[in-house]
């Protein structure tokens, strides 16, 4: 779903929130893996300055990383499209549960983006909850396709890259330009780039060191 579709299509928003509501129960149970904990440990030891992540699951923070830039936002936070007030996703989830008790357990399958499949005809009965401050429409605080990453967030990410001597790319193919641009920026400044990833990345030609393998296992071997 694109940002423009989310804004202009009320039925599309309803579909997202119905499916996302069911999927959230399981999505929020995700826990950090060995890669998350290894990066947190490396930051604590002063080996890395911080993390710029394209993921929206908040698992770097859950693992203990302190200096994290969530480039594409976080699914555990909701923003009002009218007044820009933020609300915890769990609070919105509880309000949706009270408004739609019939929807609990409607599906056991969760998709990679955190939502699930709900029959289209069931959407007619779904009740969306509004912003508690102004009654406006709500959106998960993540960057959709067709939506720009906030300028200040991009500026902070560039500043982090500028502050270090080298760049480590861990567990990303850098297919999306919003993440790849920081590798291009580091390369332009003559900084070495190390890449750890299972499979090729869009920045392999920029790398001084390239390791094709499991990120968690590789990082743990460095600690």
Q: What positions carry a catalytic annotation?
A: 72
Strand partners, 100: none
Residues 6+ apart with CB under 8 A from 148: none
Q: Residue-wise over 40-76: b if at least 16 C-beta within 10 A, else e?
A: bbbbeeeebebbbbbbbbbbbbebebeebbbbbbbbb
- Nearest Cα to 68, choosing from 156, 200, 166? 156
**98, two tokens:** 């009270």
- How far apart are alpha carbons 43 and 112 in whole angstroms? 28
Write down the H helix ranges in the chain: 3-8, 10-27, 34-44, 59-63, 89-99, 151-162, 177-188, 215-220
């Amino acid at each position: 779903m694109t940002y423009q579709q989310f804004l202009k299509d009320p039925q599309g928003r309803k579909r997202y929130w119905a499916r996302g509501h069911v999927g959230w129960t399981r999505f929020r149970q995700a826990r950090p893996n060995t890669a998350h904990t290894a990066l947190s440990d490396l930051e604590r030891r002063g080996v890395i300055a911080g993390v710029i992540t394209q993921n929206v699951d908040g698992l770097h923070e859950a693992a203990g990383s302190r200096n994290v830039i969530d480039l594409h936002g976080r699914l555990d936070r909701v923003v009002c499209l009218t007044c820009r007030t933020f609300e915890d996703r769990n609070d919105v989830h509880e309000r949706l549960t009270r408004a739609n008790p019939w929807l609990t357990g409607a599906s056991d399958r969760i998709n990679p983006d955190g939502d699930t499949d709900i029959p289209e005809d069931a959407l007619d009965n779904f009740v969306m909850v509004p912003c508690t401050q102004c009654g406006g429409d709500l959106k998960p605080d993540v960057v959709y396709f067709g939506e720009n990453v906030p300028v200040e967030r991009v500026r902070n990410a560039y500043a982090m890259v500028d502050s270090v001597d080298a760049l480590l790319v861990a567990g990303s193919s850098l297919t999306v330009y919003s993440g790849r641009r920081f590798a291009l920026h580091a390369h332009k400044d003559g900084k070495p780039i190390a890449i750890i990833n299972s499979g090729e990345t869009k920045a392999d030609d920029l790398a001084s060191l390239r390791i094709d393998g499991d990120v968690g296992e590789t990082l743990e071997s460095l600690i």
